[in-house]
Chains A and B, each alone.
Chain A
Amino acid sequence: MVLLRKGAEAELYQESWYGLNIVRKVRKVKTYRHPKLDLKIRKSRTGREAQIMHEAKGSGVPTPLIFMVDMTSTTIIMQYVAGSRVKDLLHFLSSIERLRLCSQIGQLIGRLHRNRIIHGDLTTSNMILSKTGKLFFIDFGLSEHSEELEKRGVDLLLMKRAFYSTHYSFAFECFKAITEGYAVEMGEEACKNVIERVNKISKRGRYESKR
């Protein structure tokens, strides 16, 4: 059993399980929050993650296979995907490769949205490019079902924020490529509406010089 990653919400262990190479995702008790709140959050997110991760496959978005869900220990056992996180990868790609990858990210987000799935935590840490060249989305703990423009807007806003905070030197071109990929799946009109909403949401915050 190897600790693969200690995320904010859960710990990920890589291990062998009945001969399969798996990831054990454990949502541990968070002692900083009230026990009642803690239990509610862990249970609802574990259930939701397993359910929606499974549904995402049906929309044509690669996600790890789920082998087992244990609600008492809020644990999910899923397929281990060998590859690199997009966060660690972006820097090493050529400009063309990077834009191609971003456009692909946009398409996958579009597929989720078209199938009434909101990811809820789109960052480059939550995407894995597998060794076989397939792009996987992971970490569906904050996901939900919705077709609302608002939810789609928030989803893309978080993606945009992730680029501007972590990959700021090429954030502009990357997000543009994501938008173009997104439009391929959603259609130009729908894409335009979502982007308009993204701008509207960011202006809702306390300070915005262009208001």
Chain B
Amino acid sequence: MICLGIESTAHTFGIGLVSSSGKIIVDINDTYQPPPGKGIHPREAAQHHCEVAPKVLKQALQKSKIELEKIDAIAFSVGPGLGPSLRTGATVARALAVWLEKPLIPIHHAIGHIELASLTTGAKDPLVILVSGGHTSILAFGDGYWRVFGETQDITLGNLLDMLAREAKFSSPGGSVIESLAHKGEKYLDLPYVVKGNDVSYSGLLTAASKMYKAGSKLEDVCYSVQEVSFAMLSEAAERALAHTEKKAVLLTGGVAANKRLQQMLKIISKEHQADLFIVPKIYSGDCGAQIAWTGILACQSSIKVNVDESFIKSKFRLDKVFIPWR
């Protein structure tokens, strides 16, 4: 069985083809880049997706050498995300499903991050640390649902890094710029460290860091300190969850999973609690079509599908509300 997955929650429009044996046949993604110093404009992002969609689809089919008729199911990201972006991807998915007379499968974007990471790393029953522009959550699976052990109470880790990059007039997503700047930082600046039980809060940290930068602190030092503090906060919350759940595997996924310093901190913690750390490969850490396609396979095998006339997007879809029959 082959599933075509369409990702379009935020800045990336992607199409992936994955087989039921878990082979990622092709994964083509095109990312909208806002002007430096600006964030994603939902309308502009949707416009970008509209323009690249036919090209991405054509490329995916050509590269995979698979004919449209050979595809068994069409999966799309149903949420959460930006409404205009989501609607664009959903429209393409609906059109394909109707045209090819194949089942249409709604996929929660974050579940896609978790499932693709599980597929590519082989992690079994892990404590999941999901860090991206849309999520900062610590999760474990139990009785049909992902249970949230800790999460951010305001902005996400990806948000924090993106907004700091924006402040310094870099373009989004800004995680990798911040990481390379942080590498050159030397001075540790005192920033607010806010852990509430298993939860974290990053909004105060962002305000304090922006103020420091505007007051003349070296950008490299600000980036370095922001990484140190924000990652330590998450690591502490993760360690609490790990001590509490006593899991033997930790799975790091989502866009920020690519950050080396975060990986290093979590490696130390996992080792301390005799757990193995699994990190999603860098090419699959960000948003991509493959995450939707693979989760589409899992969902389709559990007979999850939606009628086209009921296939509404859910821009505020929470991941602990998704019933997962396949785990």
Residues of chain A whose beta carbon lies under 8 Å from any beta carbon of chain B: 6-9, 30-34, 36-37, 40-41, 120-123, 125, 142, 154, 158, 161-162, 164-166, 168-169, 201, 204-209, 211
Contacts and interface: CB of A to CB of B under 8 A. Distances in A.
Contacts of B314: 209
A73 B260 CA distance: 31
Given A8-B243, A142-B195, A161-B198, A37 B316 contact: no
A206 B135 contact: yes
A32 B265 contact: yes
B188 A37 contact: yes
A204 B316 CA distance: 12
Interface size class of B (residues with CB under 8 A): 35 or more
A3 to B, nearest CB: 13
Given A40-B193, A154-B199, 13 more contacts: A8-B239, A8-B243, A31-B268, A32-B232, A34-B188, A36-B190, A120-B196, A121-B197, A123-B197, A123-B198, A206-B80, A207-B80, A207-B318
Contact of A32 (B148, B152, B195, B268): B268
Interface stretch (B20-28, B139-147, B247-255): B139-147
Nearest to B315: A207
Interface string B247-291: 000000000000000001110110001000000000000000000
Given A8-B236, A9-B236, A37-B229, A168 B143 contact: yes
A178 to B, nearest CB: 15
Nearest to A158: B197
Interface of B: 80, 134-135, 140, 142-143, 145, 147-156, 188, 190, 193, 195-199, 228-229, 232, 235-236, 239-240, 242-244, 264-266, 268-269, 273, 314, 316-319, 321
Task: Summarize B's interface: helix, strand, loop or mixed.
Answer: mixed
A32 B233 CA distance: 11
Given A168-B142, A206-B135, A125 B244 contact: yes
B244 A123 contact: yes
A201 B228 contact: no
B196 A154 contact: yes
Nearest to B262: A32
A211 B268 contact: no
Nearest to A125: B244
20 contacts: A6-B243, A7-B240, A9-B236, A32-B266, A32-B268, A33-B235, A37-B193, A40-B193, A142-B196, A154-B153, A158-B196, A158-B198, A165-B147, A165-B148, A168-B147, A201-B153, A205-B152, A206-B152, A207-B318, A208-B316
